[in-house]
Amino acid sequence: MSQAATKFEQVYVDYHHGGYWVAGTRVSLDSLVYRWREGLSAEKIQKDCFPVLTLAHVYGALAYYLDHKDAIDEYLVQQEAEEEVFRQQLREAYPEAARRMDELAKRFPFARHEDQVSG
């Protein structure tokens, strides 16, 4: 009895509008990668972070990331640099709001966005 190999051709990640997205959703690949880098399992990511996704979506997107790790890591570094430029532009445009946010960050250091998304 011979066994024929089956090849599945499911697309789990799309690239459009300058970013990587879990195919057919509004969930960015960035979001999954950051949660995974924080140590969350695929099951935890699906159940607690992105219940709109199936477990196959999460595993498929993470497999895509691992298959394209160098390119995606470079993309993430570029995105972080662009975010920092934008953050500085906002601080300059709205200095009073920036001052107030700094005060809040000192009072509630656990709520810093950078701590939640850094890889």
Q: Could you report the per-residue pLDDT of 67-109, keeping only the tens digit for each? A: 999 999 999 999 999 999 999 999 999 999 999 988 998 888 7
Cα separation of 67 and 24, whole Å? 20
Q: Which long-range contacts (CB under 8 A, 24 or more apart) does 36-39 make?
A: 36/62, 36/65, 37/119
- 62, 14 contact by CB (below 8 A): no
pLDDT of residue 10: 85
Give the tens place of pLDDT for each residue, 5-64.
Answer: 656 678 999 999 999 999 999 999 999 999 999 999 999 999 999 999 999 999 999 999
